[in-house]
Amino acid sequence: MKLIAFVILLGICTLSYSQETVQIDKRAINYYSEQEIKEMPVLKILQTNYLFRESFIIPDEFKQTLNSENVDGFKLGAFRKEKERVKISIDIEKEEKLSSNKYVILLSYEEVDKALNDIKAKNQ
């Protein structure tokens, strides 16, 4: 009986700890209220972070000059295609006239959906 209680307590402590240590990407404040972020489940935080941080590729030639923290994967998602990757000028994100040749490659909806489902499967 003591062992069962210990296992349950350990599980609760682990869940509490993981929720406290998972931080949402700072860019989320542009899309979610502070209250929504506070109430967001860990799974949604992980998926949201993926969209901001990993749903695009910075080509090797721009990795030294383009900071991934300045790329808004949420905003650029409007240009995403179902089954193919899309090359998007980084200036589009800033809503400026095209002034550089820098771009990112957006993963397809299919690739993003698979990654989000993988995150869900690993964290259930």
Rounded-to-integer distance, Cα 104 and Cα 93, Å: 10
DSSP line for 4-23: HHHHHHHHHHHHHHHHHH-P
Quick one: tokens of 83? 């089954």
* Alpha carbon separation from 52 to 2, 12, 45, 69, 74 (Å, rounded): 44, 29, 11, 8, 6
Average pLDDT over residues 75-91: 92
| Per-residue pLDDT, 100 | 67
pTM here?
0.76
The yes-or-no verdict on residue 5 having pLDDT over 60 is no
What is the C-alpha to C-alpha distance for residues 61 and 59, in angstroms, rounded to an integer? 6
**How high is the mean pLDDT of the chain?**
82
Residue with the bigger pLDDT between 4 and 82: it is 82
Q: Would you say residue 76 has pLDDT above 60?
A: yes
Question: What's the rounded mean pLDDT across residues 41-66?
Answer: 94
Confidence tier at 15 by pLDDT (50, 70, 90):
very low
